[in-house]
Structure 1
Amino acid sequence: MADRDLRLRGVSKSFATPTGPLPVLDGIDTTVRRGEFVAVIGPSGCGKSTLFNVLTGLETPDAGRVELAGADITGTVGHCAYMPQRDLLMPWRTILDNTVLGLDVQGVPRAAGRRRAAALFDQFGLTGFENAYPGELSGGMRQRAALLRTVVQDKDIVALDEPFGALDSLTRTDLQGWLQDVWRRHDWTVLMITHDIREAIYLADRVLVLSPRPARIVRDLAVPLPRPRELRLLTAPEFVDLEAHLLDLLHSPARESSG
């Protein structure tokens, strides 16, 4: 059987505007290995969300292709579990019913879907809130529920678009540690958009740095820090050096080329 690596080969994308085409992605080329955690950072508006829309099949590139295990999956959906920036929980559905929404859409029988989701509530810190409604949960618990709804679909690849961006600092830190634990337990391949450089270094095996629009990869930076990672690592000299390097890249992205 072919490997389960995910590859983007020369992916470019533009959008039509009244003044002409607007280039957004410019030849994105990278490989994400099975089980890797890859963070994607770049200036606001550079095309990160468009890249994820292409990755998940919601957008079709103008050029290039997306491959999984050697097969061309460009423009197709269903190979990737995608969590957008907002939790999008439906206020009239219980937390359990929210978490099975994707399974409902796939045609999984309701009882089977509820059993599958309920089995994850303990791992996601949601035990006892199965019959609560979104308005009764904290922001952090809502994000856990949204991620549970994403991963219960049992996809190998999980795409997270700023999952903790709207949370306060303490809640965000708590959920970063929690996400690291559940990722290691489930062996997902994770791609995560973030504007938080520390979050990228703390969680990821690699950090892809995008240029201003039209986005290209200006640096593919390995994070050679031991796992599991603890909060005290954030003050370690090697962590601080990586953070300074990424800050410099984001302010002067043209200094580096991909690699």
Structure 2
Amino acid sequence: MSDDYLRLRGVSKTFATPAGPLPVLDRIDTAIGRGEFVAVIGPSGCGKSTLFNVLSGLEPPTGGGRVELAGADITGTVGHCAYMPQRDLLMPWRSILDNTVLGLDVQGVPRAAGRRRAAALFEQFGLAGFENAYPAELSGGMRQRAALLRTVVQDREIVALDEPFGALDSLTRTDLQGWLQGVWRRHDWTVLMITHDIREAIYLADRVLVLSPRPARIIRDLAVPLPRPREVRLLTAPEFVALEAELLDLLHSPARR
């Protein structure tokens, strides 16, 4: 695993508003290894989604910050990152298979080739037999799996997930956390995931980046030295509880402000 596969160097972001400049990101600097799973947590509104927009090239940084991938400057460019937003955004009038090939259609991949590429993943994603179903016919968990399939079938270097399970019930969420670990390990993705759930961050990630209130800066880069594969019973293990307590103390400490 390379420690400098993905680098954010001094990434800041300030928006112009009628009330004046609004600083959102403050010199974010970190390195992420190839195949690593990194969770990003922090208070609501601190700038996590803005960070992902900069990472994916949807927003340019301000103040000279850089995003680098394998040593190349990719700041402000798209096509390196597959970005899954909080909502599944499946189009209700398209079948699940047709939804999953939307990104490939935009890239100009021939339709038949795109459908073959997506269809080959349906069994791994627990969607076999639902290729011709419509979003309204699927459970919330299945819709999220379809949205993730649509994201990763584009075969990007980085997978960015913004609260992918936030709207799901507890049992479905736990099931999908276990499932996500399996497909991540199988495909060796490099994953960054925003979450507000401290347990989810520890359970899934190799590292947890903790952001301060806006303007966001990294106030802790916590390694998660728990063995894989991880099972649900790990949530009550002393070493897991200790990591959870450390993050809770940090997030609720007045010093973080």
Under a length normalisation based on structure 1, what TM-score does the superposition of the two structures give?
0.96
- CA change 1:141–1:2 in 2 (3 A) is closer
Contact 1:3–1:70 (Cα < 8 Å) also in 2: no
Whole-angstrom CA distance in 2 between matches of 1:250 and 1:41: 9
Whole-angstrom CA distance in 1 between matches of 2:232 and 2:26: 36
What is the CA deviation profile of residues 110-130 of structure 1, one whole-angstrom value per residue up to 9, with x for unaligned ones? 000000000000000000000
Contact 1:218–1:253 (Cα < 8 Å) also in 2: no
Provide the aligned C-alpha RMSD in A: 1.4
Contact 2:199–2:244 (Cα < 8 Å) also in 1: yes
Count of matched residue positions in the alignment of Structure 1 and Structure 2 = 254
Name the counterpart of 1:85. 86
- How much does 1:132 deviate? 0.2
Whole-angstrom CA distance in 1 between matches of 2:250 and 2:49: 20
Contact 1:2–1:70 (Cα < 8 Å) also in 2: no
- How much does 1:109 deviate? 0.4
- CA change 1:164–1:134 in 2 (3 A) is same
Contact 1:25–1:216 (Cα < 8 Å) also in 2: yes
- How much does 1:169 deviate? 0.2
Name the counterpart of 2:36. 36
- How much does 1:155 deviate? 1.2
Contact 1:90–1:98 (Cα < 8 Å) also in 2: yes
- How much does 1:134 deviate? 0.3
Contact 1:211–1:253 (Cα < 8 Å) also in 2: no
Whole-angstrom CA distance in 1 between matches of 2:76 and 2:162: 19
- CA change 1:226–1:137 in 2 (3 A) is same
Name the counterpart of 1:215. 216
- How much does 1:4 deviate? 7.0
What is the CA deviation profile of residues 15-44 of structure 1, one whole-angstrom value per residue up to 9, with x for unaligned ones? 111111010000000001000000000000
What is the CA deviation profile of residues 171-190 of structure 1, one whole-angstrom value per residue up to 9, with x for unaligned ones? 00000000000000000000
- How much does 1:92 deviate? 0.3
- CA change 1:215–1:253 in 2 (3 A) is farther
- How much does 1:9 deviate? 0.1
Contact 2:9–2:30 (Cα < 8 Å) also in 1: yes
- CA change 1:184–1:107 in 2 (3 A) is same
What is the CA deviation profile of residues 80-101 of structure 1, one whole-angstrom value per residue up to 9, with x for unaligned ones? 1000000000000000000000
Unaligned ranges ≥5, structure 1: none
Name the counterpart of 2:234. 233
Contact 1:211–1:254 (Cα < 8 Å) also in 2: no
Contact 1:96–1:117 (Cα < 8 Å) also in 2: yes
- How much does 1:253 deviate? 6.5
Contact 2:2–2:33 (Cα < 8 Å) also in 1: no
- How much does 1:2 deviate? 9.6
Contact 1:3–1:69 (Cα < 8 Å) also in 2: no
Contact 2:97–2:118 (Cα < 8 Å) also in 1: yes
Whole-angstrom CA distance in 1 between matches of 2:178 and 2:52: 23
- How much does 1:246 deviate? 0.3
- How much does 1:254 deviate? 3.3
Whole-angstrom CA distance in 1 between matches of 2:200 and 2:163: 10
Name the counterpart of 2:130. 129
**Identity between Structure 1 and Structure 2 (%):** 91
Under a length normalisation based on structure 2, what TM-score does the superposition of the two structures give?
0.97
